[in-house]
Chains A and B, each alone.
Chain A
Amino acid sequence: GAVVSQHPSRVICKSGTSVKIECRSLDFQATTMFWYRQFPKQSLMLMATSNEGSKATYEQGVEKDKFLINHASLTLSTLTVTSAHPEDSSFYICSASDPRQVQETQYFGPGTRLLVL
Chain B
Amino acid sequence: GQQLNQSPQSMFIQEGEDVSMNCTSSSIFNTWLWYKQEPGEGPVLLIALYKAGELTSNGRLTAQFGITRKDSFLNISASIPSDVGIYFCAGRGSGGSNYKLTFGKGTLLTVNP
Contacts and interface: CB of A to CB of B under 8 A. Distances in A.
Interface in B18-50: 31, 33, 35, 40-45, 48, 50
A108 interface: yes
Contacts, number: 53
Choose among A6, A34, A106 the residue with the greatest number of B CB atoms under 10 Å from its CB.
A106
Contacts of A63: none
A93 B35 CA distance: 14
Interface string A43-73: 1101001010000000000000000000000
Interface residues of B, number: 20
Contacts of B44: 108
Interface of B: 31, 33, 35, 40-45, 48, 50, 88, 97-98, 100-101, 103-106
